[in-house]
Amino acid sequence: MDRVTDTPAAPSDAVRVNDYDGFAEDYAAHNESGVQNAYYERPAMLSLAGQVSGRRILDAGCGAGPLAAALRERGAQVSGIDASASMVALARRRLGDEADLRVGDLADPLPFPDAAFDDVVASLVLHYLRDWGPTLAEMRRVLRPGGRLIASVHHPFVDYAIQDPRPDYFATTSYRDEFSFGGRSAAMKFWRRPLHAMTDAFTAAGFRLCVISEPQPDPAARELFPEDFQELSTKIGFLFFVLEAPSAPE
Ligand SMILES: C[S@@+](CC[C@H](N)C(=O)[O-])C[C@H]1O[C@@H](n2cnc3c(N)ncnc32)[C@H](O)[C@@H]1O
């Protein structure tokens, strides 16, 4: 039986949590060229995705669309969904009015038909969700048999190692943080869970685990961000998964 402990996200319930709307532009600019996203997370996702030309891809938690844009440049046909209307507006500005972009919560059913996609990519979004079961079931539903879910999350060992007091590793627990960009702050609420809870959730949703990856940063970061490069190449940061939706029920 999994242990689950919730922590209020913000001192006041009136404060909206995980709300990127207030600093969407500034966050997007940071994400666009900052070392963690542009030289570590995004290159890793693109490398795991491999050849995507002609593939229909859903970017779940697409933010301002930098990964969607990179996948489209490589020939994919990309749709996106994100809870923040402002982030989706930025993605639309980047990808154009014709792009299939939706505002929606990944805790809710996805507004796409069965088997609509060859891949779902989910960059740095699953750790905002308490219960992965319904979300992963929906991702599996919208994937064609043989399709892939490629996801990155906060590495569970980082959460355990750096937080004080050190949490119960085996419990699924929430914690709050504050993000500030461009002088604006927002309360963020994350859910950390042990590695086995992640892999159990994937397999319970019917996915087959193909790859677990702890990639190195892009070598181009060595000169541009020498200190960050040293950190990212010697310490754990994010954890990456490639999961396959089997062709026949297992
Ligand atoms: C760290 S940003 C990553 C954005 C994008 N995937 C990227 O890597 O550039 C997290 C994104 O997840 C979105 N998000 C958080 N919780 C969500 C939820 N429950 N449903 C949909 N999107 C969510 C936020 O609005 C934000 O755009």
108-117 residue pLDDT tens: 999 999 999 9
3-state class percentages of the chain: helix first, strand second, coil last, to nearest 5: 35, 30, 35
Instruction: Say whether domain 21-156+207-244 belongs to CATH 3.40.190.10.
Output: no
- 178: tokens are 């504050």
pTM: 0.94
From ligand 1's centre to the CA of 105, what distance in Å?
9
| Residues 6 or more apart whose Cβ sits within 8 Å of residue 183 | none
| Sheet arrangement for strand 184-192 | 4-5, 172-181, 184-192
CB 121, CB 150: distance < 8 Å: yes
Identify which of 79, 125, 153 to mutate to test ligand 1's pocket (most ligand atoms within 8 A of the CB). 125
Domain boundaries, the chain: 21-156+207-244
Distances (CA, A) of 189 to 10, 48, 226, 228: 8, 27, 30, 25
Q: Is the pLDDT of residue 239 over 80?
A: yes
> For a pocket test of ligand 1, which of 31, 67, 82 has the largest count of ligand atoms closer than 8 A to its C-beta?
82
**How far is residue 203's CA from residue 160's CA, in Å, rounded to a whole number?**
23
pLDDT interval class at 45 (50, 70, 90): very high
Distance CA 14, CA 60 (A): 27
Q: Is the pLDDT of residue 210 over 50?
A: yes
Q: Which residues of 114-148 are buried (b: 16+ CB within 10 A; e: fewer)?
A: eebbbbbbbbbbbbbbbebeebbebbbbbbeeebb
Closest ligand 1 atom number to CA of residue 45: 8
Instruction: Find out whether the beta carbon of 106 lies less than 6 Å from any atom of ligand 1.
Output: yes
pLDDT higher than threshold 70 for residue 9 = no
Q: Is 186 in the pocket of ligand 1 (CB under 6 A)?
A: no
The pLDDT value recorded for residue 162 is 78
Q: What is the residue type of 70?
A: A
| Bridge partners, 78 (sequence order) | 57
At 62-87, the pLDDT tens digits run 999 999 999 999 999 999 999 999 99
